[in-house]
């Protein structure tokens, strides 16, 4: 099972297509953490980090953190990585951080792998859409079907 943890207020720009992917991916759960409302950047980072940490500490899942600073994979490499992980970790979290990132000192001990969708920066709802599409692609690769033809 894959669980997506995302810090975001809304997905309205891509809501229709996000919901379509969610419908197609029946072994997927999305945990939406409301963005912290404050004018203090440090407080926002602290509160959002605490919220993510609480979720990660509940169960011992394999935790993948998405950030522009880390390794990028092709779709096939992502598929192979997830498939290898599933052999030993039937539960995988993929975390999309908030607007001001997170407190790495607090979350780093809980993170097993760090990946990047791209070196470009995307809105959180678009990042969610991209990772949903890649998870859907993984499912189709497993079935040896290609949905875009």
pLDDT in tens, 52-103: 999 999 988 999 999 888 899 998 999 999 999 999 999 999 999 888 888 9
Q: Which of 54, 45, 76, 78 is nearest to 64 (CA)?
A: 78
What are the backbone angles phi and psi of residue 88, rounded to the nearest 5°? -120, -15
- Distance separating alpha carbons of residues 101 and 44, to the nearest angstrom: 9
3-class secondary structure, 72:
strand
For residues 119 and 57, the answer to whether their CB atoms sit within 8 Å is no
The CATH code belonging to domain 2-142 is 3.40.1280.10
3-class secondary structure, 131:
helix
* Residue written as token pair 């309205």: 12
Mean pLDDT (the chain) is 90
**Amino acid 51: pLDDT:** 95
Q: Which letter does DSSP use for residue 34 in this model?
A: P
- Distance separating alpha carbons of residues 46 and 118, to the nearest angstrom: 25
For residues 141 and 79, the answer to whether their CB atoms sit within 8 Å is yes
- Distance separating alpha carbons of residues 2 and 90, to the nearest angstrom: 8
- Residues 110-145 have pLDDT tens digits of 999 999 999 898 888 899 999 999 999 999 888 888
- Distance separating alpha carbons of residues 102 and 35, to the nearest angstrom: 12
Percentage above 90 pLDDT, the chain: 63
pLDDT tops 90 at residue 8: no
**Amino acid 99: pLDDT:** 84
For residues 3 and 52, the answer to whether their CB atoms sit within 8 Å is no
**Amino acid 147: pLDDT:** 65
**Amino acid 32: pLDDT:** 92
Q: Which of 6, 4, 31 is nearest to 92 (CA)?
A: 4
């Amino acid at each position: 099972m894959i669980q997506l943890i995302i810090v975001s207020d809304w997905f309205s720009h891509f809501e229709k297509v996000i919901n379509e992917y969610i419908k197609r991916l029946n072994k997927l759960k999305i945990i939406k953490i409301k963005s912290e409302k404050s004018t203090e950047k440090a407080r926002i980072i602290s509160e959002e980090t605490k919220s993510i940490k609480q979720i990660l500490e509940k169960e011992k899942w394999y935790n993948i953190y998405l950030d522009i600073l880390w390794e990028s994979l092709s779709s096939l490499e992502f598929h192979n990585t997830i498939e290898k992980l599933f052999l030993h970790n039937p539960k995988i979290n993929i975390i999309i951080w908030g607007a001001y990132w997170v407190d790495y000192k607090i979350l780093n001990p809980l993170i097993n792998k760090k990946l990047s969708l791209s070196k470009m920066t995307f809105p959180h709802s678009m990042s969610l859409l991209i990772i949903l599409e890649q998870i859907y692609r993984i499912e189709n690769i497993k079935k040896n079907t290609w949905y875009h033809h």
